[in-house]
Amino acid sequence: GLPPYDETNIFARILRGEIPSRRAYEDEFAVAFHDINPQAPVHVLVIPRGAYVSIADFSASASEAEIVGFWRAVGHVAKELGLEAQGYRALTNMGPQGGQEVPHFHVHLFGGRPLGRMIG
């Protein structure tokens, strides 16, 4: 099963404002901030305000309003950062084999250079 949500994880602290972040976007459902170790000229993390461990937890447990609000926010972030015209990559890691390090659901947005073809 899924682990319980850890209120001390780094993104929970960022949401609470206990740790600074360079915010790119925020609304009722989501917050986006620049990754501290960017892997592309634009590398932003989009997270729901709700306490969900991973995409599995979010998909199973979030309300429809939260799910729609979150994914709309992902689109807004990409558009506001100018990624939409050139294209970008959205990625989420889940669990140990997925390489997830921070146990608060997040979507990475990468852009600003040709990303090549990468599936798995």
Active site residues: 106
| Residue 111 contacts residue 79 (beta carbons within 8 Å) | no
Q: Would you put residue 82 in left (φ > 0), alpha (ψ -120 to 50) or beta? A: left
Asked if 94 touches ligand 5GP (CB under 6 A), the answer is no
Residue with tokens 């140990």: 96
**Residues 7-26: x/- map of binding to ligand 5GP (CB under 6 A)?**
---x--------x-x-----
Q: Which secondary-structure segment (H or E) carries 96?
A: helix 95-98
Q: Is 54 in the site for ligand 5GP (CB under 6 A)?
A: no
Q: What's the closest the beta carbon of residue 101 comes to ligand 5GP, in angstroms?
A: 4
| Torsion sign, CA atoms 94, 71, 48, 43 | positive
For residues 30-49, which are near ligand 5GP according to CB under 6 A? 33, 35-37, 45
- Per CB under 6 A, residues contacting ligand 5GP are 10, 19, 21, 33, 35-37, 45, 93, 99-102
